[in-house]
Structure 1
Amino acid sequence: MKALKKIGAFLLVVITLLIIVVGIFAYTLKPDYSGEKELADLQKEVTVYYDEYGIPHIYGESEKDAFRTLGYVHAQDRLWQMELLRRIASGGLSEVFGADLIGTDKFFLSLGIADASKVSATNADLSDAGVMLSKAYLDGINQFIKEGPTPVEFYLTGIEKKEFVLEDVYNTIGYMAFSFAMAHKTDPLLTTINTKLGAEYLNDLHVGSSTETEWIKNYNPSQSDSIQNNLTAAVNKALGALDIPLFEGSNSWVIAPEKTKNGKVILANDPHIGFAQPSVWYEAHIETPTYSKYGYHIAGIPFPLLGHNRKMAYGITMFENDDVDFYYEQNNPENDNQYLSENGYVDYEIITKTFKVKDSSDVEFTFKKSNHGPILNGIADQVQGERPIAMSWLYTQMENRVIDALFGLSHSNNLKEFKSALPKIHAPGLNIMYGDDEGNVAWFATAQLYKIPDSINTKLIFDVGEGLPVDKEFISFNENPQAINPPNNYVYSANNQPDSIAGMLYPGYYLPENRGKRIVQLLEPKNDWDLNAASEMITDVISSVDPQIVTNLSKYLDVSLLSENGLKAIDSLKMWTGDYELSSVEATIYNRWVYYFLENTFEDELDTELFDQLLSTHFTKRLIAPLSKDEESVWLDDVNTADVKETMADIVNTSFMEAVVSLEKDFGNNMDYWRWERVHSIEHPHPIGQIAALRSFFNVGPFPVNGTREVINNLAFSYDETGFYKTTSGPSTRRLIDFSDIENSISILPTGQSGNPFSKHYRDQAEMFVNGEFRKMMMNKAEIQKSKEILTFKPKD
């Protein structure tokens, strides 16, 4: 017994010492929010005041000093995120995570982002102000890499820290640009449907521009076979291989003084991006004698994509224009290394790439490139077949001036300066929203657009000798969709279809009118907007479309077929206002019904894999409303029942009864337990949180959450057979800028400012975000200087 006691005491001492060692180790990994540091090449002292949410307010005597400091403080909170984002486009994920990411690295290397980044960085003018500030920012990151603590993720993955260079900035921008695009997920799938089933089936998907939807109005006062299926799967796998944010959509509106209570502009913006931990934005407020900006930064990019100061504010949404095209190529029957061009058979460009793989030898692979772009067959294991498919993407084909554009936007102080920077953004397509203290409101669709004849369907893979020419006819930026101080006294964007562009409806992957319709519905009648009303609007969870879909479908229901719960459910749905509060039972019933309606409509013609891919596209969201009243749709008939032709009534009744049965199975017969909070949740995943034992440490959540896809509080998910909706994307921030009281403008992040799990700011905004709460974006210097955490940077001797 004494021996056991001694062993127990010894183990207790060992465990206590281990806890102390782990505690000390964890303490050394925390970011420093106070104290003094020396920073190389700093000209004068820079003071960083951290507010209660860990947001740095940087005061310096020069922009170079301030951006060098920004690089350091950004890295100490987000170095791991910077590391991952720069590795995606350059094929560096397998080195971190092993052989499972080989396909992803092959795919991104073949896109040519890394090659284009190298050219842009090599050709950069080192005397250019944007480049100089970028390099100062990178210097700050690199000093932290040399002298700061190593983030825990580097220990867990075993990779070494390496310095950042200008090329990395372009690689991060390139990944961001590709994640905006929807063509790579859509065009191959639509081509498969067209080839397999015919044009009639394609037409009934409602993928084209619509004359019935809610358009964003222009107002410019200055101008009154199986290969395709597998390709879609390959792209989905590449983009979904890690929990890294994908850019999905967004809302923004800017209200002119004529419609506000205090006679000043109010800007609202909530970009919709895939949820991940760390969250995508890093907030930083910089003040120098020549520069003032409260900005939202992406890891590894020096200039903010969202920002404001006392004179102006800007935000973004995704334009959703089509700048990716696919082409079939025809190989020379006598030489597979040649393809048919306008000048006869010519040689493919043969490109070889090599990348590292963790715990394995390097991978070398070769792919072909035509004048349209890389041949995707064989790059990912899923893409097999005889017909070569080339991908043409505008981003890698033009001079990249995005850094110049971001520098210009962030350094502008009025509408004229701001607008002059916009034509430098050739891709990705963005809606840029603007408001200022002079009362101007504006919306600009920024992208290099080009002429597309009506006879060309850009949503299909072009056959040999067809499609858009390599040398496109570009459209002047002045003809892009835009609105400057329109007579309705507001501008908005919800990724919905814009009005005509250069006399045509521009093809794109626009989201349904749901959010746009609700935004207009709320903005139009009200002329006394203030910050409180705008904050209620940005968290609105009412669908103006879903109750109409219920009306369309319910007229086909045969109530004699329904169970007791079925009758209660449809009676409740008919009274539904479209709200997605946590307590809503109707929201749960509606979404189950819609899933089974889609499954019973489409899965018989498609296989399970194609049906799942269909559910992941933007246009699926657009087709639900028109499909709900299209009783002649060719998709309604079940191709597996040769002797029976199913009707809309058959599909609607079967789907509704299946939905009720599945809810009873999951939650019992008492409908009070069918609440939205039981099926709709949010969790912010960290890449290392995929390891079950580490999930609770690295991931944030899960939480039940109100909202749904395509309401203003857009918390999106994909339908699947489970009937549970794990939110994958939504507001990456909610920002409200009120020029009548700029110092009390408000915002929120989904988790926290820091990506360091040992920081107190790793998850300190998560519950506020779920609850629809906000915090102040501090700009008053006297208030900021009251901070208890001050980090001073001094020139290094």
Structure 2
Amino acid sequence: MKKIKKVFLIILILIAVLLLLAFSYLQYSKPKYEGEQSLEHIAKETTVYFDDYGIPHIYAASQKDAMTTLGFVHAQDRLWQMELMRRIAPGRLSEIFGNTTLKTDKFFAGIGIDESSAKAVSQLDKKSQTYILATAYLDGINQYIESGVTPVELRLLGITPEKFTLKDVYNIFGFMSFSFAMAQKTDPLLTDIRDRYGMDYLKDFGINGEFNTQQLKSYKGNLTEYSKISRSLTTMLESSPVPAFIGSNSWVIGSDKTKNGKVILANDPHIIYSQPGTWYEAHIVCPDYEMYGYYIAGTPFPLLGHNREYAYGLTMFENDDVDFFQEEENPNNQHQYKIDGAYKNYTYQQKVIKVKDSSDVKLNVKTSQHGPVVTGLLDGLASKKSIAMSWIYTQQKNQILDAVYQLSHAKDLSDFHKNIELIKAPGLNIMYGDAKGNIAWITSGKLYKVDKSVNTNFILNGANPVDNQRIFLPFAKNPSAINPPWQYVYSANNQPEAIDGYLYPGYYLPKDRALRIDNLLKSKSNWTKQEVSEMIVDNTSATAQAIVTGMTSSLHVAQFSANEKQSLKILKEWQGTHGLKEVAPTLYNKWLYFYLRDTFEDEFGKDNFKLLLSTHIIKQVIEHQSKNVASPWWDNITTKDKKETQADVLTQSFKEAIASLEKQLGNDVTAWQWEKVHRVEFQHPIGKLKLFSRFFNVGAFPISGSNEVINNQLFIYTDEAEIVVKGGPSTRRIIDFSDIENSWSVLPTGQSGNPMSEHYDDQAELFVNGKFRKMKLNKKEIEATSTRFVFKPK
């Protein structure tokens, strides 16, 4: 018995020692926000003031010194995130995560981002400020790697970070560009529906198929194979430890419509939620330069920014810059495909993917003139057909780093405008406002026209000369609005107007947010920063009331239960708002799920219906299809002896929604409040493991907002008891040129990616409650409210 006690005591002591060592290491790993640090390759002493939210305000004698310092402080807060970001595009996640990320690595290694990055680096002018300042930033990161504390995540995974290079920077931008694309989810899925049921079924999807009659007769696809492409790509992106960009709001109000007579810019880019969040804020001040910017981990120049002279933000254009082509292979030689009337050889490249605790995986990448054959890169596909992916980003000259440098160093609106042309992909709505009263909305992207017989929402015929035609347009044809007489510009990922009679193909989101923003902006001519801050968290849907009116008018109410009648009354009285204490949003979104399921699942099948729910196009469908009595989707194809009607499906789905809520939340309808179901948790990749979730994750919190309101808290329609918010504003910014030193912002969690930092989650409560904090520019205020960290030349 004494021996057992002794062994037990020794075990307890060992556990205590291990816990003490772990705690000591975590304390030691905290970022340093004050003191002194020697830094190589800076010419003069540089001072960094970390304000009360951990944002560095870097005061340097030169931009080069500032950038070296920025790299160092960025790395001490976000090195783990930088490591993830640089690994996804070249297919190197499996080196740290093992087989769980192999399918992601196989796809990204094959689509050519890494090769595009290498080519861009070789073409970069080594004497340019872009190159000089970018390499200074990387030097700062690498000095931190050499002298700083390795993040706890890398310790847990046993990873020693390598030095960062310019190719890493381009790879990060490359993944960011791909994550915008919606074609990979949508095109194969719509092709299946077209080929199986015909174009009548796609009229409710807003796809104009009148010019595709001839093509449809001559070119048919295979349902199972095409849908597998969509499912595989979607699963891969959703399981990625790196968040994707998905939407955004922005508007700029001209001086004639503001109370103080100065421009106000608002912006909230929508990105899948993660921890740490996407943006790192930093304020740089030099004798010849000042910028308060928002940086993606591992990149040297801000994608969002402002100073005393101008401000800029962005949303996703959602234009179509990815097309899929089914190649027609030579029946006598599988290594050839048909193009321009002749057979041409595929090119082949072998790549090696290193996998942690396992053997290397060899990947054979087959490429046609259109691009890589993705059916050979995606997991779970046994297709004999070769589907190639054509992507503007890898086909055009890559000048993304020059572009982002130029946008953050613009002299005026004209200079800012011309440099947007350097961005061939992704397509962006870039918003601009300045102290002189200029406002602008300008789109980036290398746009092109296709023949009127070609619909790029479908997989195209690689052997058809007409499908292969691309007429690239000059930058002057990109949609834009500069100083319009109505004195405001806005973007909410909505379809822009036709240019020269041509509507640019894309995967645009419904009009809801755009309509709400437009209606609010045109209704007032004396906007203030405070009113804009209330508008950016507005929860009112511009279309929900009309949708409810249409859907409820078709219901068979005679046999409704008491709870069903009470729920119907609540919905009919609803004003389309999504506050925490409201019941109507819970009813509405549950009903939408069952309506969509009962309408579309029989044709799509369970797996493909689930995939459909993750696309932008399903949001476009609801308003139109739900009121279309003649829609072919109402009939359930599995019930051969009955043809269901709009009223049948809407009544059935309404009753199913109420029954589900009774089971999940009880019989008291008034207790079905939005805050009980609509919640957000900011998940760290390692925090997905239950053992580490409380340490790494932030939340969960009940949160107001919903799909496609200005306060866009994105979720996939579901019958689950909890609606898990997947993404939303990655920051909210309001820049007021009448009070530029007191502009407002907020991050979803915090500035630091280090779980031991006080700034890991210190903005979370502000964010979920729709509040803000200052973006400080006044040096005296910064000095008075900050810690001081001095970097001395070594």
Structures share fold, TM-score greater than 0.5: yes
Query: Which residue is 1:638 aligned to?
Result: 636
Change (3 A) 1:20 1:471: same
Does the 8 A contact of 2:664 with 2:721 survive in 1? Answer: no
Q: Say if 1:535 and 1:200 are closer, same or farther in 2 by CA, change over 3 A.
A: same
CA spacing shift, 1:6–1:114, aligned 2, 3 Å: closer
Instruction: From the superposition, tell whether residues 779 and 463 of structure 1 become closer, same or farther in structure 2 (CA, over 3 Å).
Output: same
1:378-404: CA deviations, max 9, x gaps? 312222222210100010001111111
Q: 1:484-540 CA distances to partner (integer Å, 9 max, x unpaired)?
A: 111111000000010112430111000000000110111111111001000000000
Q: Name the structure 2 match of 1:572.
A: 570
Q: Does 1:57 find its partner at 2:83?
A: no
In structure 2, the residue matched to 1:383 is 381
SS in 1 for 2:268: strand
Q: Which amino acid aligns with 1:101?
A: T
Cα distance in structure 2, aligned partners of 1:261 and 1:272: 28
Q: Alpha-carbon deviation of 1:208?
A: 5.2
Residue type matched to 1:635 in 2?
A: W
Contact 1:255 1:265 in 2 (8 A): yes
Please tell me whether the aligned partners of residues 450 and 469 of structure 2 are also in contact (alpha carbons under 8 angstroms).
no
Q: 2:649 aligns with which of 651, 673, 680?
A: 651
CA contact (8 A) 1:243 1:685 kept: no
Following the alignment from structure 2 to structure 1, what is the Cα–Cα distance between the partners of residues 202 and 382? 24
Per the alignment, residue 171 of structure 1 pairs with: 171
On the 8 A contact 1:592/1:723 being kept in 2, the answer is no
Q: For residue 766 of structure 1, report the CA deviation from its aligned partner.
A: 0.8
1:692 corresponds to which of 690, 693, 708:
690
After TM superposition, give the deviation of residue 3 of structure 1 in Å.
9.0
1:86-485 matched pairs, under 5 angstroms: 86-207=86-207, 225=222, 226-466=224-464, 472-485=470-483
Aligned to 1:74: 74
Partner letter of residue 263 of structure 2?
Answer: V
The alpha-carbon deviation at position 374 of structure 1 amounts to 0.6
CA deviation profile, 1:662-717 (whole Å, cap 9, x unmatched): 11111111012211111110011111111110011111111111100100000000
Indicate the SS of the match to 2:52: coil
Aligned in 2, Cα 1:640/1:286: closer, same or farther, shift over 3 Å? same
Does the 8 Å contact 1:589/1:660 carry over to 2?
A: yes
Could you say if the C-alpha distance between residues 767 and 468 of structure 1 is closer, same or farther in structure 2, counting changes exceeding 3 Å?
Answer: farther
- CA positional deviation for 1:21: 2.3
Alpha-carbon distance, 1:19 to partner? 4.0
Structure 2 counterpart of 1:649, which letter? A
Distance 1:193 1:521 in 2: 36
User: Residue in 2 aligned with 1:719?
Assistant: 717
Instruction: Quote the Cα distance in structure 2 between the aligned partners of 1:208 and 1:284.
Output: 46
Contact between 2:590 and 2:719, CA under 8 Å: does it hold in 1? no
- Partner of 1:603, secondary structure, is helix
User: Could you report, residue by residue, the CA deviation over 1:4-62 in whole angstroms, capped at 9, with x for unpaired residues?
Assistant: 99888777765554443222211111111111111111111110000010000000010
Q: In the alignment, is the contact (CA less than 8 A) between 1:233 and 1:382 conserved in 2?
A: no
Opposite residue 323 of structure 1, the aligned amino acid is D
What's the offset of the Cα at 1:122? 1.9
8 Å contact 1:104–1:237 — kept in the other structure?
Answer: no
Quote the residue 1:222 is aligned against: none
Aligned-partner Cα distance in 2 for 1:794–1:289: 18
Quick one: which amino acid aligns to residue 618 of structure 1?
H
Q: Distance in 1 between matches of 2:174 and 2:432?
A: 24
Cα–Cα, structure 1 residues 723 and 509, in superposed 2: closer, same or farther, change >3 Å? Answer: farther
Q: TM-score, normalised by structure 2?
A: 0.96
Of 734, 741, 744, the match for 2:742: 744
**Cα shift at 1:123:** 2.1
Letter in 2 for 1:229: S
What residue is the counterpart of 2:767 in the other structure?
Answer: 769
Which residue is equivalent to 2:216?
none
Equivalents in 2 of 1:129, 1:6: separation in Å?
67
2:712 alignment partner, SS class: coil
Task: Say how many residue pairs are matched.
Answer: 782
Aligned counterparts of 2:641 and 2:238: Cα–Cα separation in 1: 41
AA of the residue aligned to 2:790:
T
In structure 1, distance between residues paired with 2:665 and 2:228: 37
Give the secondary structure class of the aligned counterpart of 2:311. Answer: strand
Provide the C-alpha distance between the structure 1 equivalents of 2:437 and 2:495, rounded to a whole number of angstroms. Answer: 26
Q: Which runs of 5+ in 2 are unaligned?
A: 211-221
Cα distance in 1, alignment partners of residues 37 and 422 from structure 2: 37
Amino acid at match of 2:725: T
1-side partners of 2:40 and 2:456: how far apart? 52
Cα gap change, 1:611 to 1:171, in 2 (>3 Å): same
Identity %: 51
Which position in structure 2 is the counterpart of 1:628?
626
Q: Give secondary structure in 2 for the equivalent of 1:36.
A: strand
Q: Describe the SS at the equivalent of 1:435.
A: strand
Q: Equivalents in 2 of 1:555, 1:787: separation in Å?
A: 59
Amino acid at match of 2:476: N
- Deviates further, 58-67 or 228-237: 228-237
Q: Matches of 1:470 and 1:307 in 2, distance apart?
A: 39
Structure 1 residue 503 corresponds to structure 2 residue 501: yes
CA contact (8 A) 2:320 2:507 kept: yes
Letter in 1 for 2:72: Y
Q: Which residue of 1 aligns with 2:581?
A: 583
CA RMSD, 1 decimal: 1.7
SS state at 1:492 partner: strand
Tell me, in whole angstroms, the C-alpha distance in 1 between the residues paired with 2:673 and 2:440.
Answer: 41
How far did 1:788 drift?
4.2
What is the CA–CA distance in structure 2 between the aligned matches of 1:427 and 1:773, rounded to whole Å? 33
The CA deviation at 1:241 is: 2.1
Task: Tell me the SS of whatever aligns to 1:377.
Answer: helix
